[in-house]
Structure 1
Amino acid sequence: MSERRNILITGASSGLGAQMAREFAARGRNLALCARRTEALHTLRAELLAAHPGITVAVRALDVNDHPAVFEVFRALADDLGGRLDRVIVNAGLGKGRPIGTGGFAANVQTAQTNFTAALAQCEAAMEHFREHRDGHLVVISSVSALRGMPRSVTTYAATKAGLSALAEGIRAEMLATRTPIRVSAVHPGYIATEMSGRAARTPLMAELDKGVRSMVRAIERERADARVPAWPWVPVGFLVRHLPLRLVARFG
């Protein structure tokens, strides 16, 4: 397995994306970072270069719901890193939502568009690049909530993440069937403390940001097809979520 030297991360201005950037920078990787909040991106870039002056960090503004811009920005960031991306991490997403049928359609459809349709655009742009070079590693950041249907305000979010995981698996299946040397990973984080954590932050299952993201990066570096992180407690919890009766799974929502 070749080292993935040039890594693109979407939604990199805060939370999981920014912390993944710090972890990969510490490993000496060049970074292509994009998000809507460019001020935060430039602040992060300065931080990373001060700590790791030997790397290259390129930043560009991107609203992932602007689908033509996704393709344009991915190409531009590849050029910024010498014409080649080795790994793309589809991380940008939303956590908002309302119970179905309670007047929250606008919030739910925004989550669906950002977490699935925009993620599809990112996968398309990444795979175009990887197919051209016949190598690369596509990573989608899904969620443990993708493993089952979830109730209340998590319903749409969980459904979008389930769709994203299925999308990654379908791409992986094609790469295996055609013997194309492109790796595809779906990372399923449990509760990790971020701006999006919301009320889940009150659970004892919550991992601190640095610890949670460190486990994510280890799974990404191993290029595992399907990872539930942190492994403790989310591997056993994930098993329970998959196999418990739905009335019990509903308590996770």
Structure 2
Amino acid sequence: MPDSLTVFITGASAGIGAACARAFAARGDRVVLAARSTDALESLAADLNGALGAGTALVVPLDVTDAQAHLDAVAGLPDGWAEVDVAVLNAGLSKGLDPVWKNTVEDVDRMVDVNVKGVINGLRALVPGMLDRGRGHVITLASTAGHTVYPGGVVYCATKHAVRALTDGLKVDLHGTPIRVSAVSPGMVETDFSLVRFDGDRERADAVYADTTPLSAEDVADAVVYCAHAPAHVNVQELLLTPRVQSGFTMIARGEAADRVEGR
């Protein structure tokens, strides 16, 4: 892999995706910013290109649930950007916190389409070029939810179990090739994740992170960059990270208990 990488990031308009873009760019890599929110992408690209030099970031409007659009987006990358070294398949979401039989059809379809089909579409679009070039790295954003289930999050957990299976299966399918495959699986991270889950209910979303210290998007981005820039012979199969206040995937220390954990 070259010292300076070309990194294709889905869900790059906010949260972990945007943090990954900033972290890779700060290290000297070039980033392809892919998401549906064109205005947010343009703003991020302007910041990166202004601070780090023109040609640091490229905007690619993309709905990851559209398989043909994903193929077209990769095929349409301009000269100098087409040789993608690292694919960070980050786009994902959760909707609702209801028992599985109460999930709406729309919420189920949205989670499966973005979290599962979005990853498959990314693999179909990006892996063939990596094989042709004889180098590349696919990094999926999985979750501690892919290791367990919790009340109200069953469908979301099922999609993240699927992401882990896709990641592990891709490594098997690529056995004997130079392509690396990694999953980064964070626990509680304070982003707009809960705001999306609760349909914009800020009070309910803020309560998820109240009186405790979750991971930040930047913490997760550090892990992603580590995987991508590990020595060429090293494949980080999965990097599982949680905040210190989180135990057993669903246990979160809060208030005085969180203060003791943080050593304050």
TM-score band w.r.t. shorter chain = 0.7 to 0.9
**Once structures 1 and 2 are overlaid, which stretch shifts more, 11-20 or 49-58?**
49-58
Which residue of the partner structure matches residue 226 of structure 1? 238
Which residue of the partner structure matches residue 183 of structure 2? 186
Q: TM-score, normalization: structure 1?
A: 0.85
More helix by share: 1
Q: CA deviation at 1:174?
A: 2.2
1:134 and 2:131 matched: no
Q: CA deviation at 1:117?
A: 1.2
Q: 1:127 to 1:36 in 2, by over 3 A?
A: same
Which residue of the partner structure matches residue 102 of structure 1? 102
Which residue of the partner structure matches residue 212 of structure 2? 204
Which residue of the partner structure matches residue 91 of structure 1? 90
List per-residue Cα deviations over 1:143-193 (Å, max 9, x = no partner): 1110012221x11111101101111101101222xx100000011011111
Paired letter, 2:76: A
Over 4 Å off, 4+ runs: none
Q: CA deviation at 1:229?
A: 2.3
Count, aligned residues: 236
What is the percent sequence identity of the aligned residues?
29
List per-residue Cα deviations over 1:32-80 (Å, max 9, x = no partner): 1111011111100010011111643111111111110011102223x35
Q: What is the DSSP-based 3-state SS (H/G/I as helix, E as strand, rest coil) of the residue aligned with 2:53?
A: coil
Q: CA deviation at 1:210?
A: 2.6
Q: What is the DSSP-based 3-state SS (H/G/I as helix, E as strand, rest coil) of the residue aligned with 1:170?
A: helix
Q: 1:169 to 1:4 in 2, by over 3 A?
A: farther
Which residue of the partner structure matches residue 8 of structure 2? 8
Q: CA deviation at 1:215?
A: 3.4
Paired letter, 1:9: I
Whole-Å Cα distance in 1 between the matches of residues 101 and 82 of structure 2? 47
Whole-Å Cα distance in 2 between the matches of residues 132 and 215 of structure 1? 27
Q: What is the DSSP-based 3-state SS (H/G/I as helix, E as strand, rest coil) of the residue aligned with 1:101?
A: helix
Contact kept in structure 1, 2:141 and 2:183, CA below 8 Å: yes
List per-residue Cα deviations over 1:113-132 (Å, max 9, x = no partner): 11001211111111122122
Q: CA deviation at 1:203?
A: 6.2
**Once structures 1 and 2 are overlaid, which stretch shifts more, 111-120 or 205-214?**
205-214
List per-residue Cα deviations over 1:198-222 (Å, max 9, x = no partner): 3532362512333343234324433
Which residue of the partner structure matches residue 70 of structure 2? 70
Whole-Å Cα distance in 2 between the matches of residues 110 and 209 of structure 1? 23
Whole-Å Cα distance in 1 between the matches of residues 180 and 4 of structure 2? 11
Whole-Å Cα distance in 2 between the matches of residues 213 and 111 of structure 1? 22
Contact kept in structure 2, 1:30 and 1:81, CA below 8 Å: no
Whole-Å Cα distance in 2 between the matches of residues 167 and 123 of structure 1? 9
Query: Which ranges in structure 1 are unaligned for 5 or more consecutive residues?
Result: 242-248
Which residue of the partner structure matches residue 245 of structure 1? none
Q: TM-score, normalization: structure 2?
A: 0.81
Q: What is the DSSP-based 3-state SS (H/G/I as helix, E as strand, rest coil) of the residue aligned with 1:7?
A: strand
Contact kept in structure 2, 1:58 and 1:80, CA below 8 Å: no
Q: What is the DSSP-based 3-state SS (H/G/I as helix, E as strand, rest coil) of the residue aligned with 2:239?
A: strand
